[in-house]
């Protein structure tokens, strides 16, 4: 069974910033048989907001931003979050990701800020960086 994951916003930003890193490779694998991504409406809105704020950095057009968001939505599990675990983590935006991960029964939260998710193992969710996760799924050695 393929793992279900939530991608932290910093992973998406990194994936769009450089074609060289593990984040970009991970983003290329969204929608494949390697793993399934989970999304909620609040996370999609955050992705869109962050990408639009930084689109000059990424040199993306409005259409490209819309296409990225549409692709993520089409390739992911759409999960409603009915129960809020707040405050569990110091940052409310991280709580939003944790709540999605719990509701969607995710195996992993993929992030560069592992310390920000300290204690989520209580919910049987693992934290991994993009590089670590690529190793877990056998994409890099």
The whole-number pLDDT of residue 87 equals: 72
- State which H helix or E strand residue 24 sits in: helix 22-28
Q: Which domain holds residue 89?
A: 4-136
The DSSP secondary-structure symbol of 15 reads: H
- 81 in any annotated domain: yes
- Residue 141 falls inside a structural domain: no
* 90 assigned to some structural domain: yes
**What is the side-by-side order of every strand in the sheet holding 108-110?**
76-78, 36-39, 4-7, 108-110, 126-128
Q: Has this prediction a pTM greater than 0.85?
A: yes
Angle 121-124-128 from CA coordinates, rounded to 5°? 60
75-119 tens-digit pLDDT: 999 999 987 666 776 667 888 999 999 999 999 999 999 999 988
């Amino acid at each position: 069974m393929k793992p279900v994951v939530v991608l932290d916003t910093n992973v998406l930003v990194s994936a769009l910033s450089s074609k060289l890193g593990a984040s970009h490779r991970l983003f290329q694998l969204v929608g494949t048989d390697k793993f399934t991504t989970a999304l909620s409406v609040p996370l999609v809105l955050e992705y869109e907001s962050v990408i639009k704020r930084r689109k000059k950095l990424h040199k993306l057009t409005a259409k490209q931003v819309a296409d990225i968001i549409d692709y993520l939505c089409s390739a992911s599990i759409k999960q409603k979050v009915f129960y809020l675990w707040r405050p569990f983590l110091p940052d409310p935006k991280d709580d939003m990701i944790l709540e999605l991960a719990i509701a969607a029964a995710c195996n992993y939260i993929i992030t560069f800020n592992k310390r920000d998710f300290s204690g989520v193992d209580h919910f049987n969710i693992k934290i991994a960086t993009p590089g670590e996760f690529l190793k877990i799924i056998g994409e890099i050695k």
